[in-house]
């Protein structure tokens, strides 16, 4: 996926192109994109590709195309103080941008299947906190990342105001994803090859909007441990 806009020479030029093509439409989303340099989430030897509107994958590390993240950020309708759950949180790039909008009273959780990617995200977050000048302009809701399968979140965990899933959701898991959402909340996920926005308008009432056609790798199904028990993901 990607290739919707031309490449930039740097992060700001990439954002200029995303704005011109109407992928970035709000000032808050624009500010967050400009504050987090996409290249910082690439391995050094691949950074020359960071400002292309293309997805990037190396081993278990994956970044979606900038045009996809733009649509996701706009669809989430983020506001300060909300709780956010990122399923398949990957490098932490999206979670860091979200954290700049949520501010000091938000909640910012990520669940990542691969432990090596969780460690990579923590390293990138540490670098961002140490080197970014964004904190002059933003109060940051620091993301926290845990390793586990996002289909095994403990039933005792709180619901969230905003949820994003970065893998293709099979139809049989749609109800599970909806159950993670508070009333009034927004869920954004790839569902049946469409990036989909679902708003919970009541305890059992939903509004669904298809945003654009996408191609995401599907969610990986949980596998039971040797003891036969699933490993529930705890979020705090």
Q: C-alpha 214: how far from its chain's center?
A: 15
Backbone angles phi, psi at 181, to 5 degrees: -105, 135
- Is 64 a catalytic site residue? yes
Among 162, 138, 163, 142, CA closest to 33: 138
Q: What angle do CA 195, 201, 202 make, to 5 degrees?
A: 130
- The one catalytic residue among 6, 64, 154, 204: 64
User: Which residues are annotated as catalytic?
Assistant: 64
């Amino acid at each position: 996926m990607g290739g919707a806009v031309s490449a930039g020479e740097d992060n700001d030029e990439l954002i200029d192109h995303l704005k011109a093509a109407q992928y970035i439409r709000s000032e808050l989303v624009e500010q967050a994109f400009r504050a987090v340099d996409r290249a910082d989430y690439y391995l050094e030897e691949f950074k020359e590709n960071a400002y292309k509107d293309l997805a990037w994958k190396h081993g278990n590390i994956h970044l979606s195309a900038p045009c996809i993240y733009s649509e996701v950020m706009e669809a989430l309708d983020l506001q300060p103080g909300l709780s956010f759950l990122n399923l398949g949180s990957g490098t932490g790039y999206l979670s860091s941008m979200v954290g700049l909008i949520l501010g000091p009273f938000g909640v910012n959780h990520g669940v990542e299947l691969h432990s090596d990617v969780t460690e990579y995200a923590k390293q990138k977050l540490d670098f961002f906190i140490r080197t970014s000048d964004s904190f002059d302009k933003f109060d940051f809701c620091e993301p926290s990342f845990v390793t586990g399968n996002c289909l095994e979140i403990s039933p005792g965990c709180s619901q969230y105001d905003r949820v994003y899933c970065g893998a293709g959701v099979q139809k049989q898991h749609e109800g599970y994803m909806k159950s993670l959402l508070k009333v009034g909340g927004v869920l954004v996920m790839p569902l049946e090859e469409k990036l989909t926005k679902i708003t919970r308008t009541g305890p059992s009432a939903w509004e669904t909007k298809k945003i654009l056609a996408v191609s995401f790798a599907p969610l990986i199904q949980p596998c039971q441990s040797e003891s036969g028990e699933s490993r529930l993901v705890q979020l705090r």
